Amino acid sequence: MSKYDNLDARTGLEQEITVDLKRALTKRGFEIRHNSKTEFHSPAGFSDIEMWDDTTHINIEVTKRVKSNQDGEWQSFKDHFEKSKKENANKNCYVWFISPETYYRTLNSIKDWNFAHQNSKDEKMLPICFSTFEIFINKLIETPNDQYTKSQILTLFENFVEFNDDESILRHFFIKLFNSDLALQEKIEIEEEERHQKVVEELISGFKQLEQKMRDKGIATTEKATRNVIYLVFIKLYEEKKEKEEGKRNRFTLQSFKDYQSNIRDDSRAIHQLFNDIKKDAELQACRLFTDEDLLSERINDEFVIEHFIKEFEEYIFYTSKVDGLGAAYEVLGQLSGKDVKLGQFFTPENVVKFMVRLAELHPEDTIYDPACGTARFLTNSMDDLENKIKGTRDEKSKLKKLKTTQLYGTDYDPTVAKLAKMNMYIHGDGKTNINDEDGLLQFDKDDKFDVILTNPPLGDLDYSSSRYNAEFRETRMEVVPKNNLTIKSLKKVDDDILLNKTRLSAETSKNKIKRIVTRIEELERKKADLEYKIRHNDCEYETSGALLKGGALFLNACKYYLKDVRNSDEKIEWRGGKILIILDEGILNTDDYKDVREFIKKNFFIKAVISLTKDTFVPVSKTTTKTSIIYAIKKPDTDVIQREPIFFAHVEKVGLNTKKKGCENHLFGSGNDILTKFFDFKNAVLSSYEGSSFKREKFEQSFTPGTLS
């Protein structure tokens, strides 16, 4: 809450804001006037406060109205602005609209105005909530006039497509003016995370109700109703993306959809026409996102869409860095279809995803794969990370194109989830969408191997006796699958038979029987030699025992085949191979049942880090306390090589969101005394402890002291 919230709208609010504006902006060359002729608020026909100099005029409109009560404000301050522009035709004119919180319809009206005037160098409006205005004005009051100059302040009217909600506007202020304020950055990130969780919950509830209404009104059955929800969510995302990136008017807000509807011959089916228009997008066709079977239900009409989707969800902006409309739709899909979406497929907490991507130290040339991609959040975060690394480099355009067409890959066995992943990748700017609805455990025969795998596979048990897995998969490919070695059993039986026959031979006196026993021993010796040869050359017969194994164990095994043996030949031997960063159920790491899996890991990978996550990590997003760890490992080019370097171990107690979905400390990254920083200190100490190709443990122990987070 800001200091303005408790002020009286008639006698205190405008007056206090006027005082603060004078303290902050008079020293920066502006004159400020409160238009009230009395001690009360300003009269009709005038903006509340005006601010100007020789070249600029800003109307400042102030209200304490919230939510739908703000609807009455728009027309009046628009009229004030048009009047001011006429009176100050030779000046650049702007509006600040200051309120406790900006109602979404006010935001949409301001955004429509700004779009209508996007080719003008001025005539822009900026909504500011009380708390953001207080941060802004205090910083200007506390600093000299050569800091936060007039020209910098006017940049706040740029990028108006970012004015999605009060949180995004605060971030806009931070980026434009206050990006060196780390405390403000932390405040923004905590508030964004809390807002994100709240919005996702609201969307999940809203989507469930929407799906139910479709069934109740006979529009669609359960499966088709859920698909309709997904299509409508995508239409909204698509339109918001085009609005932000290309400056095109969003055709899926209330007024704009009605305008679009008026140009369609059958104005009850404009939604079908809009979806068809979108499907014709060349980029969508190039990545084969939609097929001829992707259609809205015939019975869905514009009236239903307006009443139950546009009006219900117009206040939410899906196309932001936080609010994941597709993710919320996916959880609804999972809950309605009875799928287990608790951990492995979508709901990896955002900070955990970001941490793993940063830990991977992706290189702009890396190819990245997620074999259990869900809605592709590891891939979209990897794309964002690499885009930032490529921007400003030589041949930036061609590198970005290559990134988005040939470097990001994912699979998910569920076709609907794979489609959601494709949608998500497209929305994030992917140019080809290399997502396939395939089993991520069966990608052995792909020609290309990957530099980095980032994944959170299903943590529950998977049935590896399923008919889609053949004997080769179970007996040869999946080394972690528990097996009975029939060849060794046969060898033991042959040894026992040889011993038995030799015992009988020593006691036998009949020449004929001695001859038969000797012949039998010779046959057994030949069979023994054949079995020993098979064992030496790993040509054994196995019988699978049991049928269930934790998904992480199976995916880890499969990933051995997907990774490059050598990612960077210039690195030290233990950093040379392909990287995997994977979330595993800790049962794999510390129970007797998974001893063979741990031996598999040590045999095939150099283990770089084991980072144990608090049992509360997944509670906010999935309400489960499954204990997990992040494993960071690098594939061995030679499995006979023994790991010499130490392993980084850490425990994460807080990941930026507590069990009540409130922002809290983030021990993963961002504080300067976090696990990411500690790991890179550890890595630097490791690499500094080499002499030639030899790792010197004594040197490492002298240079690195394990510590705890403070």
Ranges of each domain in the chain: 13-180, 342-460+552-654, 483-544
DSSP class of residue 497 equals H
SS3 per residue for 524-575: HHHHHHHHHHHHHCCCCCEEECCCEEEHHHHHHHHHHHHECCCCCCCCCHHH
Look at residues 475, 493, 496 and name the one whose alpha carbon lies nearest to residue 484. 475
DSSP 626-661: --EEEEEEEE-SSTTPPP-S--EEEEES-EEE-TTS
State phi, psi for 387 to the nearest 5 degrees.
-60, -45
DSSP class of residue 446 equals -
Measured CA to CA, the distance from residue 625 to residue 619 in angstroms comes to 6
- What global pTM score does this model have? 0.75
pLDDT recorded at residue 346: 45
* Residue 191 contacts residue 167 (beta carbons within 8 Å): yes
Measured CA to CA, the distance from residue 284 to residue 177 in angstroms comes to 37
The CA-atom distances, in angstroms, between 37 and each of 9, 30, 389, 543 are 15, 21, 56, 93
pLDDT recorded at residue 336: 54
In the sheet with 605-613, reading across from the earlier edge strand, the strands are: 434-436, 408-411, 368-370, 452-455, 579-585, 628-635, 605-613, 648-652
Measured CA to CA, the distance from residue 532 to residue 494 in angstroms comes to 11
**Residue 373: CA count within 13 A, CB half-sphere:** 37
Measured CA to CA, the distance from residue 7 to residue 26 in angstroms comes to 23
Could you tell me the end-to-end alpha-carbon distance of the chain, in angstroms, rounded to an integer?
Answer: 30
pLDDT recorded at residue 337: 47
pLDDT recorded at residue 46: 83
Measured CA to CA, the distance from residue 574 to residue 628 in angstroms comes to 25
Give 453's strand partners.
369, 580
Which residues, 6+ apart, have CB-to-CB distance to 652 below 8 Å?
611, 612, 613, 614, 617, 667, 668, 675
pLDDT recorded at residue 42: 55
Kindly calculate the radius of gyration of the chain based on its CA atoms and give it in whole angstroms: 32
Six-digit token pair at 208?
A: 């469930």
State phi, psi for 498 to the nearest 5 degrees.
-60, -45
Which residues, 6+ apart, have CB-to-CB distance to 364 below 8 Å?
386, 389, 390, 393, 399, 403
Hey, which CATH number is domain 342-460+552-654, 3.40.50.300, 3.40.50.150, 3.40.50.2000, 3.50.50.60?
3.40.50.150
Neighbours of 592 (CB within 10 A): 6
Neighbours of 651 (CB within 10 A): 14
The amino acid that residue 505 corresponds to is L
- pLDDT block averages, 10 residues each, the chain of length 710: 89 93 96 78 76 96 92 90 93 96 90 88 94 94 94 90 82 91 83 74 85 91 84 91 85 91 84 94 86 92 95 84 59 54 54 94 97 89 94 93 93 85 85 87 86 92 85 84 76 90 88 90 92 80 73 95 95 96 94 93 97 82 78 96 96 83 81 89 96 94 74
Give 50's strand partners.
33, 59
Look at residues 421, 413, 432 and name the one whose alpha carbon lies nearest to residue 327. 421
CATH annotation of 13-180? 3.40.91.50
pLDDT recorded at residue 43: 58
pLDDT recorded at residue 343: 36
Measured CA to CA, the distance from residue 190 to residue 663 in angstroms comes to 5
pLDDT recorded at residue 433: 80
Alpha-carbon torsion (350, 353, 358, 359), positive or negative: positive
